Amino acid sequence: MPPHPTGPAATDMPENLLAVVSEHYGMHAPISARRLTGGYANDVFLLEGLDLVLHLKHPPADLDSLSWEHRLLGMLADRLPEVPSPLPERNGSTFFLHDKQPVWLMPFRPGSPARPSDRRAVGAALGRLHAMVIDLPSRPGHARLRDLPIPPLRDMPPTFARWLGLIAQARTDLIRLVSQIDRSRRPAVGITHNDIFPGNVLVQDGSVTALLDWEEADIDWLVWDLAASLWPFCDPADWRPGIADFMAGYRDGGSRMPGDDDDLILPLVRAKRILEVLRAPTDRHPRWDLQLANLEAYQALG
């Protein structure tokens, strides 16, 4: 969700939704909206003049999972300024259903999508998140790395033919790695975002103003969240300084992840790269150029 609208007033919003939103949130003046970019799992719209963002969730919707997410955000928002929390409607709920699609409002946050040069600030924000101790069970209906089935090797474009052997071997290695960690290690566990990349982080004047899109958040291995988060802020051609910068910010943020887990970072960075490749055939809009970059990174990190 970028800081500015990307086009004219929203014409692809469901008919009468704004009127329904006005009723649920006690708004009396007519409101208008403009679409914002981003929101893989949601359509997002800026309510003009109100500094509010309307989220309309794509189906299917797991209401127990969404309720867990909103509860988490409410708990975090009091302690982390970069975490926006859903606004309660007049009956106290943080979302309502419109034609079976969940709808909710969030405060608008200024800023631009983070850049690789912001990695120390992003690392610090993730460190602050990982420092939180919150009494919350695991997210319902959400598969974690250690218990999700690793996706099979599916059909890919012809340009991937020369990579298929590596992908198959990498998948086997990924299963072995996760099993070994789960069996013989006890990585620190806590609140994880699980989808930190430049598009989900807003930065203004060098500071993180918002961590967005919490659809993948859970209680999970902190080192997995760290490994999945830092790579998008690194230069694949010279990744060591990027990892060092991100890690310096992360430690400054006060994360509870012990140094004993540091040896898992690079193996799990590679695991994330190959997991992205394996998932790509089922994406709504596969980015095959990114998957080729993931395979090249997997090799470079080996």
- In this structure, the number of other CB atoms found within 10 A of the CB of residue 131 comes to 17
> Is cis: bond before 140, omega within 30 of 0?
no
Give me the domain span that covers residue 244.
116-300
- Give the CA-trace dihedral at 231, 232, 237, 241, to 10 degrees: -60
166 and 67 part of one domain? no
* pLDDT score at 13: 84
pTM reported for the whole predicted model: 0.93
In the listed set 109, 141, 168, which residue is the last one of a domain according to the structure? 109
In the listed set 65, 87, 109, which residue is the last one of a domain according to the structure? 109
Residue 5: pLDDT band (50, 70, 90) is very low
In the listed set 94, 109, 124, which residue is the last one of a domain according to the structure? 109
182 and 140 part of one domain? yes
Dist. CA 227–CA 269, nearest whole Å: 5
- Residue 6 lies inside a defined structural domain of this protein: no
- Residue 224 lies inside a defined structural domain of this protein: yes
Dist. CA 122–CA 203, nearest whole Å: 9
- Residue 7 lies inside a defined structural domain of this protein: no
What digits encode the pLDDT tens for the residues 109-157? Answer: 999 999 999 999 999 999 999 999 999 999 999 989 988 889 999 999 9
Structure tokens at 188: 């620190």
Which secondary structure element, helix H or strand E, spans residue 248, and what is its range?
A: helix 239-252
Residue 37: pLDDT band (50, 70, 90) is confident
* pLDDT score at 190: 97
- Residue 4 lies inside a defined structural domain of this protein: no
Domain count, the chain: 2
85 and 186 part of one domain? no
Least reliable range by pLDDT among 13-17, 80-84, 85-89 = 13-17
